[in-house]
Amino acid sequence: MSSLSDMPAMVEILPLGGFDHPLTYGAKPSLYETLQIGSLVRIPLGVRRIIGIVSSLSPNHSPPLDKLRFVSTLVQPEPVLSEELVDLAKWVSNYYASSLENTLGAMIPASVRDGMNAKTRKMIEVVSLPQPEVEQLLKRSPKQLQAYSLLSQQRGKKMDAVSCGKEHQISMAIIDGLIKKGLVRKSMDEVNREAYADQWSEEVADIVDALRVLTSEQKIATDEICEDLSKGKFSARLLQGVTGSGKTEVYCQAMEKVLGEGGGVLFLVPEVALAPQTVDRLRARFGTRGEQVVVWHSHLSAGERLDAWRRLVKGEARIVVGARSAVFAPVQNLRLIVVDEEHEQAYKQEDSPRYHGRDVAVYRAYLNNCMCLLGSATPSLETAHNVDCGKYKKSTLSQRIDGRELPLVHLVDMRRETLKQKKAPVLSQQLVEALRQRYENREQSILFLNRRGFNTTMFCTECGEVVQCKDCSIAMTYHRTDHYLHCHLCGYRKPAPRVCANCKSIEINRRGQGTQRIEDVVESVMPRRAKVVRVDADVMTKKNLFREILRDFRQGKIDVLVGTQMIAKGLDFPKVTLVGVIDADLPLRMEDFRASERAFQILVQVAGRAGRGDRAGEVFVQTYAPHESCIQFARRAELDEFLEDELAMRKELKYPPYRHLVRHVFRGRGEEKTRFYAEQWRKKLDSSNLSGIEVKGPAATPLAKMKGYYRYHLFYLTSNVQKCLLKIYANKMDFPMDKEIIDFIDVDAYQVS
Ligand SMILES: [Zn+2]
Ligand SMILES: [Zn+2]
């Protein structure tokens, strides 16, 4: 007979492996006592044993089911997720249509899942005993006696066994002998492997002090934010500040308040490698008073990540700076989440779970009843829309600190340059002259080129016309295989034109400029002694090299820095007085309805790099489309006007942020088969009731073949993601998908290739 107390309690587990919904297990009373929400456990599943996370506990046992299986073991004593993070995991998995396994995998560092231990080192301490006793113990071991008297000089001090042995030339065997005899006490201490611990920039301290006096706008913004914080409720606020307006100082003021009240802070940046100045500044500001700033990013070693994780869980560190995955960092008593450069597309994860770091940040703030502060000089349309409809509040910094002027922006019409030079040049004459002038004045320049797109869209170098889809208002993609232009949103196609529909010119082409050559071109037009350095993706993979280049540039050893948008973000060089944008309208030729937004953001951000010191800056923007409104708005730094214009356009087409864009990708080895199933799926959808969902496609992706797979996709425009997903799932139930075709769903899709 089993008594009631022997009855198992029920536990809900989120499995990591195989299954994609919570499972119910029993737990023996002795084990149940040790479980908490967020505990990592081992469970039997089929013939396997997998790990899982406890997501709910019910001590009031329901009658045990016949087939009830039991939790095997608890993997480690402390929970690996807080209750709030368990809830967040469920939400991310549901909303972004990603498996629980992938979601939990993104949230819990692999080293924690594997139950890896903290790195420890052996510490020793001499035990004091009366001299006769010592002599008695060591009378047959003169070497141990000698070692003991050497070590006794450090009596009462804990020493690292390895370094102490080296210092006194005592072998580990002798130390172990002393430990055995009880003359030396051994202990294991945790070692912190801290990323970037040795990297600290010298100039930062001065910068920090110089920025302490707030401008009146900074003061107002700080007050507004602190008032939100005082309420201890969920709130989201946009801090909209022109480049150089001192947003970081406002973040720091908010952090001061939160830390002063015992709270924790999560500080997200689009890419940690691009934010060394932010990290340095937070360290300089908060590190000196004993606050640890944990840097969290994908380049951490397993050990570093584990240590960072442990320091956060224990509450030893209360500030995390990191890229999107840091949104899941286990900060204790989280009171503030800062999302810097919230408009950056880098916040969107392009593998499962395909979450958006900014949006998850807002939801996490909601779960924690705390504040999410979104900062940008060029807010995303999504955030601007949320401000418009009252979901987010807004604080504005419209002036640069110290009242410095925004730089003067010149548009260079490349259509005219092309006529003048009888070919499409890389650099216009005006930009070349400006570069030479800066060199003579001992000032610095930055040349910016947009990242190459797939460069398979067509545009006219005489009038700047880009061939667009008649229905979708996006650039069409040229396919080499059939010489047709395809719309990759709706699938519409037409033959590639031979003349420009706008001006009848035959100069319509699909050539871009050879960006590799730009460094050479710049060198060829500059005086021989000028130093030109290019920053590209290769440089970025070598983190220290990038830092070195930035340091050299800051110290004036480089005259012209050439690079992609990585040099547009957040960098602050006082001696830069000229910024050249080589291909401002390239985003407009991309196959994306966010093209104008991207072009505008990049231009404003890049222009913001000029004139950060005491000398005024100048910007030259080369474009084939000077008439485009986004370029005109950027030239005049008219943010509100741009947002209004662009929001109106999106509203008319019912694109995000007015509806959600859900992308459904079909992927397979055979092109015919992949297309066939995508088309069959569309037919299936058309035959079912899809009220409230607009379906576009299928269409080939702009990059039709990737890593050996052909890809076709459909787009769903909907105002309710949950309903849309449910309809897709319901239709998939009886859709005979081929085993060789893999499909996935990307909610709030950004990448369209
Ligand atoms: Zn034309
Ligand atoms: Zn279309």
pLDDT digits (tens, 9 = 90+) for 210-267: 556 899 999 999 999 999 999 999 999 999 999 889 999 999 999 999 999 999 999 9
pLDDT of residue 439: 94
Q: Is residue 207's pLDDT more than 70?
A: no
- Distance between CA atoms of residues 673 and 689, nearest Å: 26
- Token pair 């629980």: residue: 100
**Could you tell me the distance, in angstroms and rounded to a whole number, from the CA of residue 466 to the centre of ligand 1?**
8
pLDDT of residue 455: 52
Among all bound ligands, the one having the nearest atom to the CA of 487 is 2
Give the residue-averaged pLDDT of 30-35.
91
For the stretch 628-660, what's the b/e string if a residue is b when 16 or more beta carbons lie within 10 angstroms of its beta carbon? bbbbbbbbebbbeebbebbbeebeeeebbbebb
**Could you tell me the distance, in angstroms and rounded to a whole number, from the CA of residue 734 to the centre of ligand 2?**
29
Among all bound ligands, the one having the nearest atom to the CA of 625 is 1
**Could you tell me the distance, in angstroms and rounded to a whole number, from the CA of residue 629 to the centre of ligand 1?**
18
- Distance between CA atoms of residues 156 and 128, nearest Å: 9
- Residue 132: band (very low, low, confident or very high) from pLDDT cuts 50, 70, 90: confident
Between 744 and 587, the more confident residue is: 744
Among all bound ligands, the one having the nearest atom to the CA of 462 is 1
Q: Is residue 204's pLDDT more than 70?
A: no
Amino acid found at 129: L
Among all bound ligands, the one having the nearest atom to the CA of 465 is 1
**Could you tell me the distance, in angstroms and rounded to a whole number, from the CA of residue 647 to the centre of ligand 1?**
27
- If you average pLDDT over each of 370-379, 472-481, 534-543, which comes out highest? 370-379
**Could you tell me the distance, in angstroms and rounded to a whole number, from the CA of residue 478 to the centre of ligand 2?**
13
pLDDT of residue 117: 55
Lowest mean pLDDT among 271-285, 310-324, 523-537, 727-741: 271-285
- Residue 65: band (very low, low, confident or very high) from pLDDT cuts 50, 70, 90: low
- Residue 514: band (very low, low, confident or very high) from pLDDT cuts 50, 70, 90: very low
Are the C-beta atoms of residues 325 and 356 closer than 8 Å to each other?
no
Are the C-beta atoms of residues 604 and 644 closer than 8 Å to each other?
no
pLDDT of residue 610: 77
**Could you tell me the distance, in angstroms and rounded to a whole number, from the CA of residue 492 to the centre of ligand 1?**
22
**Could you tell me the distance, in angstroms and rounded to a whole number, from the CA of residue 575 to the centre of ligand 1?**
40
- If you average pLDDT over each of 5-19, 44-58, 375-389, which comes out highest? 375-389
pLDDT digits (tens, 9 = 90+) for 112-126: 877 655 556 778 888
Among all bound ligands, the one having the nearest atom to the CA of 697 is 2
- 686: which 2 tokens? 């058309």
**680-686, long-range: CB within 8 Å, 24+ apart, which pairs?**
680/735, 681/714, 681/731, 681/735, 682/714, 684/731, 684/735, 685/714, 685/731
Name the nearest CA neighbour of 42 among 65, 20, 11: 11
Between 18 and 334, the more confident residue is: 334
- Distance between CA atoms of residues 721 and 324, nearest Å: 22
Rounded to 10°, the helix 161-168/142-152 angle is: 110
- Distance between CA atoms of residues 462 and 78, nearest Å: 66
**Could you tell me the distance, in angstroms and rounded to a whole number, from the CA of residue 655 to the centre of ligand 2?**
13
- Residue 1: band (very low, low, confident or very high) from pLDDT cuts 50, 70, 90: very low
**Could you tell me the distance, in angstroms and rounded to a whole number, from the CA of residue 506 to the centre of ligand 1?**
8
**Could you tell me the distance, in angstroms and rounded to a whole number, from the CA of residue 715 to the centre of ligand 2?**
11
pLDDT of residue 634: 93
CB neighbour list of residue 285: distance below 8 Å, 6 or more residues apart: 208, 252
**Could you tell me the distance, in angstroms and rounded to a whole number, from the CA of residue 701 to the centre of ligand 1?**
26
- Which H helix or E strand runs over 576? strand 576-581
pLDDT digits (tens, 9 = 90+) for 652-693: 999 999 999 999 999 999 999 999 999 999 999 999 988 889
pLDDT of residue 198: 39
pLDDT digits (tens, 9 = 90+) for 426-481: 899 999 999 999 999 999 999 988 765 445 678 888 888 888 888 888 888 887 77
Name the nearest CA neighbour of 182 among 120, 141, 124: 124
**Could you tell me the distance, in angstroms and rounded to a whole number, from the CA of residue 698 to the centre of ligand 2?**
11
Among all bound ligands, the one having the nearest atom to the CA of 467 is 1
- 511: which 2 tokens? 């050539």
**Could you tell me the distance, in angstroms and rounded to a whole number, from the CA of residue 415 to the centre of ligand 1?**
10
- Token pair 């080589």: residue: 582
- Token pair 């009242």: residue: 403
Among all bound ligands, the one having the nearest atom to the CA of 502 is 1
**Could you tell me the distance, in angstroms and rounded to a whole number, from the CA of residue 699 to the centre of ligand 2?**
9
Q: Is residue 528's pLDDT more than 80?
A: yes
For the stretch 187-197, what's the b/e string if a residue is b when 16 or more beta carbons lie within 10 angstroms of its beta carbon? eeeeebbbbbe
**Could you tell me the distance, in angstroms and rounded to a whole number, from the CA of residue 691 to the centre of ligand 2?**
21
- Residue 200: band (very low, low, confident or very high) from pLDDT cuts 50, 70, 90: very low
- Residue 191: band (very low, low, confident or very high) from pLDDT cuts 50, 70, 90: low
Name the nearest CA neighbour of 363 among 87, 731, 159: 87
- Distance between CA atoms of residues 735 and 292, nearest Å: 53
pLDDT of residue 42: 92
DSSP per residue, 594-625 = THHHHHHHHHHHHHTTS--SSS--EEEEEES-
Peptide bond just before 656 cis, omega within 30 deg: no
pLDDT of residue 193: 57
Residue 411 to residues 414, 567, 603, 605, 628, Cα–Cα distance (Å): 9, 20, 11, 16, 11
**Could you tell me the distance, in angstroms and rounded to a whole number, from the CA of residue 474 to the centre of ligand 2?**
7
Amino acid found at 535: V
